[in-house]
Structure 1
Amino acid sequence: MLERFPPAEAVALAALAESHGFRGVMATDHFQPWVPAQGESSFVWSVLAAIGERTTGDLGPGVTTPTFRMHPAVVAQASATLGALYPGRHWLGIGSGEALNEHVVGKYWPEAPERINRMFEAVDVIRKLFAGSIAGRDVRHSGPHFRLESTRLWTMPPVAPEILVAASGPVTARRAGRSVDGFITIGGPTDRLAPLLQRFAEGAREVGRDARAMPKVVQLHLSWAATDEEAMRNALVEWPNGGMRFPRSDIRSPYEFDQLARTVRPEDFAGRMVVSADPGVHRADIQRHLDLGFTRIYLHNVGRNQAEFLEVFGRDVLPGLRA
């Protein structure tokens, strides 16, 4: 969570995580933190490049928005460069964006359906650039939201990075199954996640693909600490947005989020994020997501106690998980 840790510390923690048995990194692409107390928001592409030098696992932005702050061509170039630096390790996570990060460039902030359409058109632009650049030819694009003059990516890995789309609803999940390599969502109740996996598989079948062989990624927020009281305090202070039971995509300022965070109560995390000092409780929740069919799980412990978390989970949680 680059909105919570300075870039050098984030890089060091990624290396520490790998030493405890973790095998990959998902880094957030934020222009602002959720709340002012989080205090950071570094540029994801710079940090991922530094993490790549200190680790050996997979790495990707989870997720970036190639529709407002950055044109899809710029995101494609950033992704291709990271793929060239670290062959076979980088994947590209794409989302439809939140006003908190995207409104800063002063553009009109549209409703969710338009944001999703813009996202999938951006995916088309990026895929064209990847395919054309690997083939050594220029491409162009003219669509409802984006134009691309005749060009190519002059730095391109031999194999294009996988493209994963963030999906929180069944329509987007099905569309992702038809058009990209995999999908990303956040952890939650089984009755919300199972339909997403089903719709993604349906979309994949519609174009002759097998969803079982495609990446299905979940970002799992959690709060672990030495005591239950400390775990809950970390959740309330460090990650109150995890307990906000309302849409957040249209909120524009960390200070607005800060006001809303004051309404969050301990019971608001129930069913949304495990808050516990018991590693076994966390292991069971991670296993539940694996059993649903997710192929990769990225863990985000919301406290500042990262070194202790990595040691405990590397020793007491990861070895007990069944793929």
Structure 2
Amino acid sequence: MTSAEIGYAAMLERFAPSEAVALAAHAEAHGFRGVMASDHFQPWVPAQGQSSFVWSVLAAMGERTSGALGTGVSTPGYRMHPATLAQASATLAALNPGRHWLGIGSGEALNEHAVGEYWPEPADRINRMFEAVDVIKKLFSASLAGRDVKHTGPHFRLESSRLWTMPPVAPPIYVATAGPVTAKRAGKTVDGLVTTGAPRDKLEHLLARFAEGARESGRSSATMPKVLQLHLSWAPTHEEAVRNALREWPNGGMRFAKSDIRSPYEFDQIAKMVRPEDFEGRLLISSDPEEHRAHIQGFLDLGFDRIHLHNVGRNQREWIEVFGRDVLPKLRK
């Protein structure tokens, strides 16, 4: 068995850009490998207080760290056309060869409605996302070959063009999913899968459908990255860990689809109804590092290759140091 690849999840809706960059560097210094940064236009709730531009922050993180850099996740087609997102990704990869992966999702109204476009139903959002992936893949491939490409589809148009700045190898594209249909489609079309912590049976089903899609495209999911973003609440006492979850990450206890809610203030009203028991099965709250170790190991045993951890408290440096010492060295892939 080998040591597990455990990365840091930089939640840009919670920490100012300079602090997020410093925390990513601190995490790497204590054994975390790689960083994924959230792409938000607004925080979930006002108390989280931030929402910086992910591409600027990832570029700065690239200067302060040496591991992988990923978006968790970006949504093409609303705030950013797929061509613009492809350019941002290619530039980051050119600055950091071999380190950047592009995580793409179908999005939430919280972040994407700001530009005033119609917010479609889930099936339309998923179709839109996969068409955007096609546009980005075409741009990457044609640009590496030194030629222009065009696209005309139901959601996007691309006039004959190319990316003039490219890394030697195009960034791999991972699709975020919480549903089996999208997981299978991702297995057929992209390089890897991204999802968030959920009950074991649900994640087993997602991985199985991803593997099924990969087989149908003539590939093996065993060689394709499967990335998990895992939220947790650790503090020196259980009481503090509970308070942190309720105050800093109440959205983690909301047991309903959140993709159609547009305002942090709407989430704030719902947050008043979140109770500690609502986090059960969704976010481990514990002051015991060993309990967290066993919890994380379970996801590695399930088949995830990379796990990016997000501790919901403001005690980031203390948590990074404790987990770097007492948790990460004991995890095995």
Above 0.5 in TM-score? yes
Output the TM-score relative to the length of structure 1.
1.00
**What amino acid does structure 2 have at the position aligned with 1:290?**
L
> SS state of the match for residue 318, structure 2?
helix
Give the whole-Å Cα distance in 1 for the aligned partners of 2:97 and 2:114. 33
> SS state of the match for residue 164, structure 1?
strand
- Within 5 Å, give how 1:82-231 maps onto structure 2: 82-231=92-241
Give the whole-Å Cα distance in 2 for the aligned partners of 1:16 and 1:182. 27
Give the whole-Å Cα distance in 1 for the aligned partners of 2:175 and 2:217. 17
Aligned-residue offset at 1:158: 1.0
**What amino acid does structure 1 have at the position aligned with 2:151?**
H
Give the whole-Å Cα distance in 2 for the aligned partners of 1:101 and 1:321. 34
- Within 5 Å, give how 1:1-323 maps onto structure 2: 1-323=11-333
* Contact kept? 1:239, 1:302, Cα under 8 Å: yes
Q: Which runs of 5+ in 1 are unaligned?
A: none
* Contact kept? 1:34, 1:241, Cα under 8 Å: yes
* Contact kept? 1:177, 1:200, Cα under 8 Å: yes
> SS state of the match for residue 174, structure 2?
strand
Aligned-residue offset at 1:67: 1.5
Aligned-residue offset at 1:38: 0.5
Aligned-residue offset at 1:316: 0.3
Output the TM-score relative to the length of structure 2.
0.97
**What amino acid does structure 2 have at the position aligned with 1:310?**
I
**What amino acid does structure 1 have at the position aligned with 2:320?**
L
**What amino acid does structure 2 have at the position aligned with 1:8?**
S
Superposed structure 1 runs of 4+ greater than 3 Å apart:
none
Give the whole-Å Cα distance in 2 for the aligned partners of 1:187 and 1:257. 20
> SS state of the match for residue 29, structure 1?
coil
Give the whole-Å Cα distance in 2 for the aligned partners of 1:231 and 1:114. 39
Give the whole-Å Cα distance in 1 for the aligned partners of 2:129 and 2:294. 34
Give the whole-Å Cα distance in 1 for the aligned partners of 2:179 and 2:48. 28
Give the whole-Å Cα distance in 2 for the aligned partners of 1:284 and 1:140. 49
Give the whole-Å Cα distance in 2 for the aligned partners of 1:172 and 1:49. 29
Give the whole-Å Cα distance in 1 for the aligned partners of 2:331 and 2:114. 42
* Contact kept? 1:67, 1:96, Cα under 8 Å: no
Give the whole-Å Cα distance in 2 for the aligned partners of 1:192 and 1:227. 30
> SS state of the match for residue 166, structure 2?
coil
Aligned-residue offset at 1:30: 0.3
**What amino acid does structure 1 have at the position aligned with 2:202?**
R
Corresponding residue for 2:4?
none
**What amino acid does structure 2 have at the position aligned with 1:287?**
Q
> SS state of the match for residue 197, structure 1?
helix
What is the alpha-carbon root mean square deviation over aligned residues?
A: 0.4
Aligned-residue offset at 1:189: 1.0
Aligned-residue offset at 1:32: 0.3
Give the whole-Å Cα distance in 2 for the aligned partners of 1:252 and 1:173. 26
* Contact kept? 1:25, 1:59, Cα under 8 Å: yes
Give the whole-Å Cα distance in 1 for the aligned partners of 2:94 and 2:301. 34
